[in-house]
Structure 1
Amino acid sequence: MSTSAKDASPEATANGKGSTEDSRAALRGTFFTFGLRLISFACTQVTLRYLDPTALGRASIQLELLLTTVLFFSREGFRLALTRNLTAESWNVAWLTIPLVSLVAGLALVWHLSRTLYSGSAGEVDSDYVMAGALYCLASWIEGCAEPAVLHFLRRMDTPKRSSAEALGTMAKAFATVVGLQYLGPTSVTAFGLSQLLYSLTYAIYLYWNAWNTLPMPNRTFDGATCSRAFQFTLQGVFKHLLTEADKIVLTTLSDSYNQGVYAMGSSYGGLAARILLQPLEENARLLLSRLAMRHAFAELEQSFLIFVKLVLYIGLLFSFVAVNYTNLLLCLLAGREWGSNEEAANVLSAFCVYTAFLAANGMTEAFVYGVTRAGMMEVGISHAVTGITLVVLAPWATAKGAAAGLVAVNCLAMLMRSCFSLHLASKYFGEKESKPPRMVLLRLLRNMSPHPMVIASYGLSWAVTRHTLGKIKERGFHTALQIRNKEWLWLTGHHLVAGVFCVVVTLSLAITMDRQFIRSFRLMIRQKND
């Protein structure tokens, strides 16, 4: 039933304007983040040509796991609790992240030193790895201490400030990595530790510099309910963290440093879409959907949720069906001859391209669960536990059969399981609001968030066409190196690129033509309204 403008209440009008402002703020933050992360990727790209696979594996898999674990336990629960509860009384809880990260980072340092210094004889101590781990622990502490400023900007939906801090930190990290590897050698892990430390310093200084004049200072009163929620979210998120880092945990346990490095290289490029496009979309969507739920704007909430999910699916499917056939060429162009001729690295990167679609669906559906649903958190933990058990059972077998690419395949299954459960919770949530059976709501959500069948068919044809042109290149052995002076290589590679561009243009044209309702809805979220 529609409501005329003259019958709309002032409260509804105010809520509508507030919802529109939040939508525009979320999308502005997403686009700004996208540009800055492109710059960050360009800076990171400079370092990859200098890397030894073994050093890359130890830094990007083992030490990054240590870093992300410290940061998860010291800030994840606070982000979820404080972006849901926007009252001024709860703000002091944000400052508790500093003593907490001090404790967690200190424990991580003790664990690292005890594992590396006292696990064997003195002659077996790897001083380079010991120093790198200590630097990573220090960097995690500095980055964790910046969390009050991050939460301050998140509460104000000022995501560009945080994105700028990440971009500047990444640029400083890229410069420090190149310089460190030049002076300390291509196998030095300490160079990674120094660059991570510089990233954290740049990140924290920039955030506090911009937030200091408006950042509320702490006092002695802390909201007990918010503290309890932060602790609860942290415990509930343990399984999610283990699932997110499952690939690193498995590789650290079952693979050597070289295979870890190959996987890290594939992840670096394969995660490009996730870092530059999907992650900022997910973060901004979670904030926007949370605020729409708080205003009880359920119709707009569902519409925004469906728009975000369909948008990331279009992005993810583009990588899964088209980019998957260009990994050899990408590695040759960006990573150099050594990586471009590494067939295992190309296979892992192709697997990550397929993984992007599963990651996109899971990230956005879980953004709704964590940003909106208040019931069912225990169910979320149970679902993550089931997914984790599945990973533990299948990961060793998949790694033995398909090496790093097999592990990516298992991660695809895990993302699919998590997405299904998140959709179950979303349908249950909307079913309760509408007094409808969750099954009916689920069918409606799936129908409205899925790309048009003609567009899906176009994705399939695009894969077949680009796979055919890639096969022509592989028949002549031209896929492992750039041979720009070879006319045949230029002809076949040019044909392959033109085919890919043509397929992308056709697919996007079909999406615009066939999915007009989605295009109209998306435009409504970003168009400036005079009223």
Structure 2
Amino acid sequence: MASKNAEKPSSDGSARAVRGASLLILLQVGSRAITFIANQLLLRFLTAQLLGVATQLEVYYLSVIFFARESLRVAIQRQDDLGGGDASKKNGGTNKSAQAVVNLGYLSTALGIPLALLFGRLYLGSLGESTLASTPYLVFSLYIYALAAVLELVSEPAFVVMQTRLQFGTRAAAEGVATFARCTVTLGTAVWGAHRGFEAGVLPFALGQLSYGIGLLLVYTWQGAGLARAEGFSLFPTRLTAAPPKKGESTAPKKPDFALSYFYRPTLQLASSMMAQSIVKHVLTQGDTFLVSILSTPTAQGVYALANNYGGLAARLLFQPIEESSRSYFSRLLAPAPSPSPPPHPLAATSLTSLLKLYTLLSLLITALGPTAAPLLLSLVAGPRWASSGAGATLAVYMWYLPLLAFNGVLEAFVASVATEAEVHRQSAWMGAFSLGFAGAGYVFLRVLDWGAEGLVVANGINMACRIVWCWVFIAGYFRARAVGFGIGEVLPRPVGLGAAAVAAAVVKRITLVPGGTPLGVRQVIGELFKVAAVALPLLGVLILSERQFLRDSYQALKGRRQKAT
């Protein structure tokens, strides 16, 4: 009977976690859809230079937020239960576990203020006089971004305590309200300025980010105050003391559990140890943005930002969910077990090979048709001015980068599922080396060859290819050590499919007009897209026929797993 009672909270927590994850996925899709629509309207009032400067300000904002709270958030999620929950509330005491989380949340605010000043000073020092002179309200907008970052960090104490309570609904409401406010204010300010003849520069972006921070703060504070009353803790920093020794324990003096009587020491130490890893992670994540801001002009930065946003949208909506599901699937499948029956490794190799083969077939479609279709679609949704600014050509090159993103995501998800701690450290060292190579390639393509935003995409592709090779060698060694076959031949498409993709790419390039110096009208663009579709259908048919056995086997395997799960 006791075991059933013990299992119930765990199952309830798992169910809440699943529901919360689903809610956050829906929120992610919805917020990106709202942001995407707002950005399409906003592009009509922007130049490439303004978009480039806005991207720099966003990197400044994200850097302040990331360094101030990332390691603390991860450490707080792993904090032990300190007790003092319902029992303390009934006795008029303090919910010590929740209060310790709230206190640690205030460290993010304390870190954010000096970081905002430091990074702001560094950013202003990196700007050229021409950028300052040609961008209205740039310095004032930087101050607003700093204020927005601090306001978002002020909401951190309420956020982290609600996150530990799996209050995903509150997070969805807060981010939904904040995203809607940011899009409305940004777009409204830009439209108002355009109609009044007011040169607002990047001020709409700054005001929009400020409204985002205010929205988060209001919702989290309101909901957090209710949770604090219900569970018996305060949203303000409160002094805490170490628990008295239990009956039978030694009464000898112990090292205090709380630093300065406010901050739970083990969590604080874990956060400190994770700070260096967070710095490396942020540099790797934002490395392309840092590089383009150093080596190129604001106009090139705006062109790259636009291409990255459109190309990355497909990656985030299509490839990222598959990557996250793969990580979860392989982690469960290959989890250590006393005597697995049957051995899971052949199934893991088959599943990974099938997924990579599907990505290969999808990549043939993307690389054969995408470089031609992408500039046309950009001209349709963003206007001919952007398509002729170089963004169309950059987006065309990005179509070759998308398959690399897809393959790397799945391969790194598998590595993360099976790698030991030492292997993860080794991977991090190699990632750092590849990043140095990326910086060198970026210098050559941007400064020596003057390829602009297109050169940055190529440099990113080289970096991603290196990471793919490392992961492939690791995974091949992993399966080889377990006497399981895993080869590149099983991932490659049939020669008929490769030939069809090459012919389709040549045909669509020959018969289609791509926006360039002379902008195309809407009807012309739609007509050219119909030409691309006319070539896409035969190519798709050839791929399906040539790979029909593989597609049939994949469908049967997926159908069998679904029936087994139900």
Same fold (TM > 0.5): yes
1:345 lines up with 2:379 in the alignment: no
Matched residue, 2:108: 100
Contact 1:57 / 1:261 at 8 angstroms: preserved in 2? yes
Matched residue, 2:509: 470
Contact 1:462 / 1:503 at 8 angstroms: preserved in 2? yes
Matched residue, 2:378: 331
Measure how far apart 1:349 and its partner are: 0.8
1:243 lines up with 2:252 in the alignment: no
Counterpart Cα distance in 2 of 1:464 and 1:526: 38
Q: What does the per-residue CA deviation read over 1:274-304, in whole Å, with 9 as the maximum and x for residues that have no partner?
A: 3333345545665676677778698499589
* Equivalent residue pairs, number: 501
Measure how far apart 1:321 and its partner are: 4.1
Question: Letter of the aligned partner of 1:268 in structure 2?
Answer: N
1:404 lines up with 2:453 in the alignment: yes
- Deviating more after overlay: 211-220 vs 102-111: 211-220
- Deviating more after overlay: 469-478 vs 321-330: 469-478
Gaps spanning 5+ residues in structure 2: where?
A: 1-9, 83-96, 241-257
Contact 1:76 / 1:233 at 8 angstroms: preserved in 2? no
Matched residue, 1:74: 68
Secondary structure of residue in 1 paired with 2:45: coil
Question: Letter of the aligned partner of 1:274 in structure 2?
Answer: A
Of 479, 500, 508, the residue aligned with 1:461 is 500
Counterpart Cα distance in 2 of 1:338 and 1:309: 39
Q: 1:111 to 1:365 in 2, by over 3 A?
A: same
Counterpart Cα distance in 2 of 1:347 and 1:421: 30
Of 405, 408, 415, the residue aligned with 1:362 is 408
Of 130, 135, 140, the residue aligned with 2:149 is 140
Matched residue, 2:214: 201
Q: 1:329 to 1:283 in 2, by over 3 A?
A: same
Question: Letter of the aligned partner of 2:180 in structure 1?
Answer: M
- Which structure ranks higher in relative contact order (CA pairs < 8 Å, sequence separation ≥ 6)? 1
Measure how far apart 1:348 and its partner are: 0.9
Contact 1:95 / 1:148 at 8 angstroms: preserved in 2? yes
Note the 1:31-430 alignment, pairs <5 A. Answer: 33-34=28-29, 36-60=31-55, 62-78=56-72, 80-81=74-75, 85=78, 88=81, 92=100, 96-113=104-121, 116=124, 128-146=137-155, 165-166=174-175, 168-184=177-193, 185=198, 188-206=201-219, 220=240, 224-282=265-323, 299=344, 302=348, 306=352, 310=356, 313=359, 317=363, 318-342=365-389, 344-369=390-415, 373-376=419-422, 377-400=424-447, 401=449, 402-423=451-472
Secondary structure of residue in 2 paired with 1:322: helix
Secondary structure of residue in 2 paired with 1:474: coil
Q: 1:115 to 1:264 in 2, by over 3 A?
A: closer
Gaps spanning 5+ residues in structure 1: where?
A: 1-14
Counterpart Cα distance in 2 of 1:38 and 1:310: 28
Secondary structure of residue in 2 paired with 1:323: helix
Question: Letter of the aligned partner of 1:104 in structure 2?
Answer: G
Secondary structure of residue in 2 paired with 1:381: helix
Question: Identity of paired residues, percent?
Answer: 25
Question: Letter of the aligned partner of 1:398 in structure 2?
Answer: F
Question: Letter of the aligned partner of 2:303 in structure 1?
Answer: V
Contact 1:289 / 1:304 at 8 angstroms: preserved in 2? no
Question: Letter of the aligned partner of 2:188 in structure 1?
Answer: V
Q: What does the per-residue CA deviation read over 1:473-509, in whole Å, with 9 as the maximum and x for residues that have no partner?
A: 238989841252x6xx765542223333554576578
Measure how far apart 1:57 and its partner are: 0.5
Contact 2:136 / 2:199 at 8 angstroms: preserved in 1? no
Q: 1:362 to 1:281 in 2, by over 3 A?
A: same
Counterpart Cα distance in 1 of 2:325 and 2:379: 34
Contact 2:158 / 2:224 at 8 angstroms: preserved in 1? yes
Q: 1:183 to 1:426 in 2, by over 3 A?
A: same
Contact 1:29 / 1:284 at 8 angstroms: preserved in 2? no
Q: 1:492 to 1:167 in 2, by over 3 A?
A: same
Q: 1:239 to 1:143 in 2, by over 3 A?
A: same
Cα-Cα RMSD: 4.8
Q: 1:146 to 1:40 in 2, by over 3 A?
A: same
Contact 2:182 / 2:211 at 8 angstroms: preserved in 1? yes
Measure how far apart 1:332 and its partner are: 1.3
Counterpart Cα distance in 1 of 2:271 and 2:435: 23
Measure how far apart 1:228 and its partner are: 3.9
Matched residue, 1:499: 535
**TM-score, structure 1 normalization:** 0.75
